[in-house]
Amino acid sequence: MRRRSEQSLIKWSVPKHFRIVSLFSGVIWALMVQPKRHLCKLCTQVWQTLTCHHQVSSGLRDAGYTYLNLDDCYVGSRAPNGTLLPDFRKFPSGMRDLSDYVHSKGLLFGVYTARCTNTCAGRPASMHHEVEDAHTFSDLWNVDYVKEDSCSGCGKVNATEQYATMSAALNATGRHILFDMCWGCITEIELRPAIGNSWRIGPDDGNWNNVLININIDSELAEYAGPGHWNNPCLLISFSDDGSETCTALQSRTQFSAYAILAAPLMISGTVLHMSKYTLETYVNKEVIAVSQDPLGKQVSLHYAL
H runs (alpha helix) in the chain: 45-57, 60-63, 94-104, 130-135, 159-173, 208-218, 249-261, 277-283, 286-292
142/11 Cα distance (integer angstroms) = 17
129/148 Cα distance (integer angstroms) = 13
121/123 Cα distance (integer angstroms) = 6
- Which residue is catalytic, options 149, 180, 205, 241? 149
Q: What single letter denotes the amino acid at residue 254?
A: T
Distance from chain centroid for Cα 183:
12
Helix, strand, coil shares of the chain as percentages rounded to 5?
35, 20, 45
61/192 Cα distance (integer angstroms) = 29
- Which residue is catalytic, options 87, 97, 100, 204? 204
**Is residue 72 annotated as part of the catalytic site, yes or no?**
no
Vertex 218, ends 303 and 259: CA angle to 5°?
95
170/177 Cα distance (integer angstroms) = 7
Q: Is the dihedral of CA 249, 254, 259, 261 positive or negative?
A: positive
- Residues involved in catalysis: 149, 204
